[in-house]
Amino acid sequence: MTLTTPNADVRETFELTEAPDIGAREVEPAALVQLPTARPAPHPGRRRSRFRGSQRLLGVVALVAAWELASAVGVLHPQELAAPTAVLSTGAHLVANGTLESALWASLQRVFWGLVIGVPAGAALALASGLSRTGENLIDGNVQMLRFVPIIGLESLFVLWLGVGQTAKVAMITLGVVFPIYINTYAAIRTIDPAFHELATVIGLTRWGRVRRVVLPAALPGFLVGLRLAVAVAWLLLVFAEQINASSGLGYLIVEAQTYFQSNVIVVCLACYAVLGLLTDVLVRRMESVCLRWQPGR
């Protein structure tokens, strides 16, 4: 079919291929459907979240109750897994005689130093690699290769080099922290929208101005993702390092308790690890919500 518009000024004609006619079929009008909408309520959001919260709490309570019941009727032997009430009284006892406090302190110090050294190191490497080609050539290949070496496997080397003291444990945590920080920060720097770099050029930002106003803020979200991973890795490596050869810390308490079949002490220590891990994660999330207020959707 050749279609020509009635207008003489249009000199172009359009060749249209014959298509089967689908437009003319009569359709019976169907009944309308009712879409779900919100009913007016005084505090709909709060009520729902409270209901949800209490339901989640109920799940936890049910699990602990089942655990207590299983211990009470003798399904769970105290040497395999102590009852929740026994764990609580053990915890109180360990706090009272100061054992838990000194173990916690030793563990916290290792994680603290591991993060304090590892996070800046990872960030510095990422910046050196992300800001200069030379840095990238020298650093990135090495990091990408080394990150496949299992860090736990390096424990033996660390002991050979640094002995069984505090330094070896901190060194392992430090190394474990460097990789997630480096990889996420470096990726964030490399994926900065080229439009922003172009803007910096047109505006005539100095090199330092570009780093401060464009590169660092753009890398921050990636860095914080790395930090959350790094904190998780730090606790994981701590547990491992303390259970191999330590004379203090939560992991040492666990190993000792294992020798004397004190499952209640083991559970207390595991609960401490969990709470500490949770607290540090909450801390990093809080940092994210403060530092990344500018992000859409926050």
Partner 1 sequence: MTSTLRAAPAPTVTADVAVAVRGLTRSFGARAVLNGLDLEVRRREFVALLGRSGSGKSTILRALAGLDPSAQGSILVPARRSVVYQEPRLLPWAKVLPNVTLGIEGQDADERGRTALREVGLEGHENDWPKTLSGGEAQRVSLARALVRQPELLLLDEPFGALDALTRIRMHALVVRLCQRHHPAVLLVTHDVDEAILLADRVLVLKEGRLSLDRPVDVASPRLRSDPAFNELRSLLLHELGVHEPTGPTGPTGPPS
Residue ranges binding partner 1 (CB under 8 A):
5, 7, 9-12, 195-196, 198-206, 209, 213-214, 217-218, 220, 293-296
Q: Which CB sits closer to partner 1, 9 or 28?
A: 9
Using alpha carbons, select from 180, 277, 177, 189 the residue that is nearest to residue 225.
Answer: 180
By beta-carbon proximity to partner 1, the closer residue of 80 and 198 is 198
Query: What are the structure tokens assigned to 116, written together?
Result: 């304090």
Residue 236: exposure state from Cβ atoms within 10 A (0-12, 13-18, ≥19): middle
Task: Please tell me what DSSP assigns to residue 14.
Answer: E
CB of 163 to partner 1, least distance (A): 45
- Taking 3-state DSSP, the helix, strand and coil percentages for the chain, each rounded to the nearest 5, stand at 70, 0, 25
- CB-CB contact of 173 with 241 (8 Å): yes
Min dist CB 12 to partner 1, Å, is 7
Instruction: Considering the complex, state which of residue 152 and residue 199 has its C-beta at the smaller distance from partner 1.
Output: 199
Q: Least separation, in Å, of the C-beta of 79 and partner 1? A: 56
CA dist 226 and 166 (Å) reads: 25
Minimum CB–partner distance for residue 224 and partner 1 (Å): 13
In the bound state with partner 1, the residue whose beta carbon lies nearer, of 36 and 194, is 194
Closest to partner 1 by CB, 50 vs 212, is: 212
Supply the minimum distance, in Å, between the C-beta of residue 190 and partner 1.
17
